[in-house]
Amino acid sequence: MNKLTLQTVGKAITHDSAEMHVSGSAHYIDDIAEPAGTLHVAPGLSDIAKGILKSVNLEAVRSAPGVVAVLSAKDIPGKNDCSPGFGGDPIFADKEIKFHGQVIFAVVATSRDQARRATRLARIEIEGETPNVQVEDGIQSGETVLDDYTFIRGDAPGLIEQANSAISGTITVGGQEHFYLETQISFAVPGENRTMKVYCSTQHPTEVQHLVARTLGQPDASIVCECRRMGGGFGGKESQAAQWACIAALASRVTGLPAKMRLDRDDDMVVTGKRHDFLVEYSASHDDKGVVEAIDLELNGRCGHSADVSLGINDRAMFHSDNSYFYPNLRIHSRRIKTDTVSNTAFRGFGGPQGMVFAERMMDQLAIKLGKDPLAIRKRNFYSKGRDVTPYGQKVRDNVIRQLVAELEKSSDYKNRRRQIAKFNRKSRFLKKGISLNPIKFGIAFTLMHLNQAGSLVHVYTDGSVQVNHGGTEMGQGLNLKVAQVVAEEFGIDVSQVQITATSTEKVPNTTPTAASSGSDLNGMASKKAAEKIKKRMVDLAARLFQADRKAIRFINGKVELGDREISFAELANQCFIERVQLSATGYYATPKLTWERETVSGKAFLYFAYGASCSEVTIDTLTGEMKVDRVDILHDVGSSINPAIDIGQIEGGFVQGMGWLTTEELVYDSDGRLSTHAPSTYKIPTCSDVPADFRTALFASKGNKANTIYRSKAVGEPPLMLALSVFSAIFHALASINPGKVPDLDTPATPEAILRAVDGMNATGK
């Protein structure tokens, strides 16, 4: 496909909802006009992390003002579980309390305020036990939520033991709260004959539909789940949205009235899963140039009390522990640690970022040991010809990292700035600077194979307007716009003629979550196929009616060119109706060529890789540990962009979110297993002033994705988050300057406290 011939795809069109966003007229679920009688639901939570429910006295709750009903496990007609697959996630705690904040009951009242206040009146007795809270506690207990999993190539432990040069280390990688601005919300509206429509802020309407049906003990077909847009998702509304939908639906079933459940921010932060934190232990052998010979890696991921989607997350941490580097020999062992805390879940990158922290730490550590520029060590370890097989057996065939890094190295003036920084650090007593240029490579596909499919439903109306329905959900990432651009391109019409709709399980059934960065890859392709079907019928008719040469028929600028004459797209659409030609079609796409087999660690796990690199410069204050990011340069590969403005937004936003994860965002649990940082007052995501004043983002001049994706574009949702690793490495570099040759002891997040501790470690005697 020649990009020059494209009318709509590739254009920096503004987000379809932008004007609604800025004028406050975009509807989120809490903004939908409430039918008369709408009730409000609030959850009653466990104040204990682990124990057995002894008694639940809800009398005072029931008699509180405005209370209509109080729900608990015994009110569920179907199954008391909202797990995405493995089970173990009760909607209401029945006997066992598994984490602090677990839902025990729910209050249904005439106002949200009344419902919330009534929850506080419950008298609940729990026989408490000492919870396992930290990942270390879980390791010690030996309990896991899923079986271990290992990648092995060669005898890595043996090679490391016999090696002349080896390094080892431990790093703790912190978790992360999603902090989507819109908290979890569901609104259930009952219909006739036990049907129900559930509006839910979810990345996975189909799963919500199915779980609501199962909770109510009804067929899937009796439930519709709809999501127009989310106020942010980031993975936090993949599996975590369902519980509130199930409870709202149950409230509606019990009362016969519409019921809405919107979580309070603090409750949301306590009761929903977060990014997995990891304890990573590693050793590696290498040659005198810093080329890695073997790695031995233990990835301990804290999953919380249940499996949720931890299988894929911990797998992906393994998949990405190579980042962009070739490990000739390896042992990558993953343990899925169980703790008595909230069940950790999907979060942008899905384990990949945690794996990459290891790879980047190893490179930084090797550089210190050898007294070299870490970028030189990184380059020596890049995948290259003959050194191109990943730890999971897939060959890297579309590698552009060497060229991409070379371009960024030049455009960011990395070498010169590194020299300037060395000079600055020699003179500066209190402030130290650091710089780092880090690559990223991220595999695109769900590693759970059956999720790699999507459906679409396209309607053309007789006035030439078009409606697109697809299985993907909009959380701000511009998916709907990209899909609309694809469909507009197909019909040669302006994108404004394509009506974007809410995602609904009654339009497109049996969909997979909008996750794994796959939204536009899957839904763009499915929608293109649907549009192609209709277009073919339109072409057939035009050829017949106007005796036009099929090859000469072009859809362009709202017109249909028929060789020597042209008619408008609308006229042809209307003609189709008159001539009884169907103007509606479904499209379906299943990602081809994926052959991954988990059991045998073989086959092709990813359709392609997305690449990028970033260069960050920071200054730290060695008296306080405070840190400031001074400049960031990013070069990122999106293949042939469907919409460069949307893609740049994903890159910058992902970077800043990753920067927060690695610096100021700290989840603190007390020894009783209670999350202390359960509000924005104590959990600190980046603000405007944390973003570097000098922030340069560019798209890599790609010839297009080598894989046959939608218009040769590449997925962009998750990969950029990991670009922030250069901030962490730059802090490491600044610390290293305090005592050259010594390896700083810095975990993530690099809060002022963590940085000051590392400063003190550098100043302490010994290496």
Partner 1 sequence: MSRNAVRFLRNGVVTELSEVGANETLLDYLRLRERACGTKEGCGEGDCGACTVAIGSIKNGRLVYESINSCIQLLGQIDGKDVITVDDLGDREALHPVQRAMVDEHASQCGFCTPGIVISLFVLYHSGESADRENVNNWLSGNLCRCTGYRPIVDAAASAIDGKANDALSGRLAETQKILGEMQDEEDLFVGSEDRFFAAPASIENMLELSARHPDAVILSGATDVGLWITKQLRDLPKIVHTGRVKGFSDIVDSVDKVRINAGATYEDAHSVLYSIDPDLGEVVRRIGSKPVRNSGTVGGNIANGSPIGDMPPALIVLGAKLELRHDKSTREIALEDFFVAYGKQDRAPGELVTAVTIPRLGSSQHFRAFKISKRFDQDISSVLAAFCFTLDGDVITTARIAYGGMAATPKRAVTAEQALAGVTLGDEAAIKLAVTALTKDFTPMTDMRASAEYRQKVAGNLLRKALHEIRVGDTKTTRLLAHREASL
Q: Among all residues, which ones are annotated catalytic?
A: 718
Two structure tokens written together for 319? 């998949």
Nearer to partner 1, 80 or 345 (CB): 345
Nearer to partner 1, 4 or 33 (CB): 33
Classified as helix, coil or strand, 463 is coil
Q: Could you tell me the smallest distance in angstroms from the CB atom of residue 619 to partner 1?
A: 6
Q: Could you tell me the smallest distance in angstroms from the CB atom of residue 187 to partner 1?
A: 13
Q: Could you tell me the smallest distance in angstroms from the CB atom of residue 205 to partner 1?
A: 17
Name the nearest CA neighbour of 230 among 514, 510, 495, 13.
514
Strands (E), 28-116: 39-45, 51-57, 67-71, 96-97, 103-109
Measured CA to CA, the distance from residue 275 to residue 176 in angstroms comes to: 5
Measured CA to CA, the distance from residue 178 to residue 422 in angstroms comes to: 37
Two structure tokens written together for 314? 């911990």
Two structure tokens written together for 575? 């003609």
Let me know: does 108 contact 68? Beta carbons within 8 Å. Answer: yes
Nearer to partner 1, 254 or 498 (CB): 498
Cα pseudo-dihedral 274, 276, 279, 284, rounded to 10: -140
Neighbours of 192 (CB within 10 A): 5
Q: Could you tell me the smallest distance in angstroms from the CB atom of residue 597 to partner 1?
A: 36
Nearer to partner 1, 3 or 265 (CB): 265
Let me know: does 627 contact 621? Beta carbons within 8 Å. Answer: yes
Q: Could you tell me the smallest distance in angstroms from the CB atom of residue 427 to partner 1?
A: 9
Measured CA to CA, the distance from residue 624 to residue 81 in angstroms comes to: 47
From residue 684, alpha-carbon distances to 659, 660, 662, 679, 680 in Å are 11, 8, 11, 9, 6
Q: Could you tell me the smallest distance in angstroms from the CB atom of residue 751 to partner 1?
A: 5
Nearer to partner 1, 74 or 429 (CB): 429
Tally helices (H) and strands (E) across the chain.
Answer: 19, 27
Nearer to partner 1, 26 or 291 (CB): 26
Name residue 121's amino acid: L
Nearer to partner 1, 304 or 476 (CB): 476
Q: Is the dihedral of CA 719, 720, 726, 727 positive or negative?
A: negative
Measured CA to CA, the distance from residue 53 to residue 50 in angstroms comes to: 10
Classified as helix, coil or strand, 712 is helix
Nearer to partner 1, 268 or 490 (CB): 268
Nearer to partner 1, 4 or 22 (CB): 22
Strand-strand pairing, 431-444 and 453-460: unpaired
Nearer to partner 1, 143 or 621 (CB): 621
Name residue 740's amino acid: P
List of residues 6+ apart from 758 with CB closer than 8 A:
735, 744, 745, 746
Q: Could you tell me the smallest distance in angstroms from the CB atom of residue 725 to partner 1?
A: 16
Backbone angles phi, psi at 439, to 5 degrees: -90, 160
Nearest 5°: CA angle at 41, between 36 and 42?
150
Measured CA to CA, the distance from residue 228 to residue 481 in angstroms comes to: 13
From residue 242, alpha-carbon distances to 109, 213, 239, 293, 559 in Å are 21, 11, 6, 45, 45
Q: What is the 3-state secondary structure (H, E, C) of 579-602?
A: CCCCCEEEEEEECCCCCCECCCCE
Nearer to partner 1, 266 or 281 (CB): 266
Q: Could you tell me the smallest distance in angstroms from the CB atom of residue 14 to partner 1?
A: 6
Q: Could you tell me the smallest distance in angstroms from the CB atom of residue 421 to partner 1?
A: 15
Which ranges of 591-743 would DSSP assign to H, the alpha helix? 644-662, 725-736
Q: Is the dihedral of CA 743, 748, 750, 756 positive or negative?
A: negative
Q: Is the dihedral of CA 643, 645, 648, 652 positive or negative?
A: negative
Q: Could you tell me the smallest distance in angstroms from the CB atom of residue 569 to partner 1?
A: 25
Nearer to partner 1, 350 or 655 (CB): 655
CB-count burial class (<10 Å; 0-12, 13-18, 19+) for 677:
middle
DSSP string, 24-53: T-SPPGGGSPPPTT-EEEEEEE-S-SSEEE
Q: Could you tell me the smallest distance in angstroms from the CB atom of residue 406 to partner 1?
A: 25
Q: Could you tell me the smallest distance in angstroms from the CB atom of residue 249 to partner 1?
A: 23
